[in-house]
Amino acid sequence: MKDIEHRAYVGGEWIATASRFDVMDPASGARLAEVSDADAALARQAVDAAHDALPSWRSRTAHERASILRRIRALHAEREDELATLLTREQGKPLAEARAEIRYAAGFYEWFAEEGLRAYGETIPSPFPGHRVLTFRQPVGVGAAITPWNFPSAMIARKLAPALAVGCTFVLKPSELTPLSALAIAQLCEDAGVPKGVVNVVPTSDAARVGEVLTADSRVRALSFTGSTAVGKQLYAACAGTVKKLALELGGNAPFLVFDDADLDAAVDGLMVAKLRNGGQTCVAANRILVQRAVHDAFCEKLASKLAQVRVGPGLEEGVTLGPMIDARAIAKIEAHVEDARDQGAKVVLGGKSLGGSFYAPTLITGVTSQMQMANAETFGPVAGILTFDTEEEGVALANDTPAGLAAYFYARDVGRVFRVAEALEVGMVGAGTGLISTPVAPFGGVKESGLGREGSKHGLEEWTELKYVCVGP
């Protein structure tokens, strides 16, 4: 693999700062790189660069911008192995999952290269004689994004691609745990011909100092954030002073319901994806597994058999299907949730222990109740805690008993039940008979305290555009 880029990318220049911070391999604990540590001054410089580049970039035709997005997508394909290996080294997920993420990320550049050509306006019949009523979609201006560590390529692509497609310029603050993938994306943009200043990446070990610049600067007209609900609320408040356009994709606490008419083998397979993808470290991970009492024992037996086959180890090792957790804090949270469940009478059927370092055993726990920590907060790990319910109404009520509303999953075969439950679940996304719902072509986002706005699909353009109405007189 070629040398890892470790410098900030501002105004089309690679900038090495005097201060740096370490990026660690979660599998080995070894240092991967020392990365430039952006301060408030460099963040302001990035906003300056994006502001200066905006007039030229937004004046380009949608076809010109689409051509550049297609080149970014092509470079993803050409460098897939290199990008996936880097992602595994800094984030930990198995290499096969890392490759899947790189392809998923590439899909957003391909999708929005086309959708950018369809940022349509309207001609509306006017009530006034001789007048024309028109609408246009125009770029919001300078956009900023704050992205998480769990999908360090895909979460950037989901924001960057639509922003570039409609003519916005961009300032990115990636997670301090996974900045290398973000800097690799900056290199792809440069190589694809993105003009200087259009894309800027400011890695930092102090998110607050860069975040304050992005939220306070009135030239930044849109902010997109993926991360915890607590931080999302802070950003929501911080952006009030300049009334920015906000897209917030926040915490999930997703329910996974198994009804008594479900295909249990299919449900177990779906849960293995929804629970263990990226080691359970996803905002849409199944967190509360709700199983109807009549099929509880059979489902748990099948699930235990599948979990016992999971191979744990460093993500670059052949055959590994569960990599390390991101860091020691993640392990500590998982251990706290499991211990709390034990203390309140739940039964650890499988796993329930750390395997050393940042590795944790695939775990099955039965007898979980809604009073336990793992039923009220995202465990963010490979722990399947099973709750039971008796009726459809009770199952839906338990699923909705949370301030979060991002995703939900359920398995049932009765067509009437499928539609009743899908409509009754208070979430932004539902997997009915599937544990994998993420795709560039569908709107991704939540309700309640899980956020604002949608990413992906044609609706993803709306976060980065303003609708202008023009009335043309006679």
Residues with catalytic function: 249, 283
Query: DSSP secondary structure string, 429-449?
Result: EEEES-S----TTS-B--SGG
Instruction: Encode 211-245: b = buried (16+ Cβ within 10 Å), e = exposed.
Output: bebbbebeebbbbbbbbebebbeebbebbeeeebb
Q: Which two tokens stand for residue 284?
A: 């849409």
Terminal-residue alpha carbon distance, the chain: 64
Radius of gyration, CA atoms only, the chain: 23
Query: In Å, how far from its chain's centre is CA 31?
Result: 25
Q: Are 351 and 363 in contact (CB under 8 A)?
A: yes
- What distance in Å separates the CA atoms of residue 287 and residue 80, rounded to the nearest whole number? 31
Query: DSSP secondary structure string, 305-362?
Result: HHHTTPPBS-TTSTT--B---SSHHHHHHHHHHHHHHHHTT-EEEE--SB-STT-B--
- What distance in Å separates the CA atoms of residue 22 and residue 32, rounded to the nearest whole number? 7
- Which one, of 70, 209, 231, 213, lies nearest residue 142 by Cα? 213
Q: Strand 13-15 and strand 8-10: pairing? A: antiparallel
Q: Strand 254-258 and strand 286-292: pairing? A: parallel
- What distance in Å separates the CA atoms of residue 293 and residue 42, rounded to the nearest whole number? 57
- What distance in Å separates the CA atoms of residue 400 and residue 407, rounded to the nearest whole number? 11
Q: Which two tokens stand for residue 127?
A: 């009530």
Q: Rounded to the nearest 5°, which phi and psi values hold at 116?
A: -60, -25
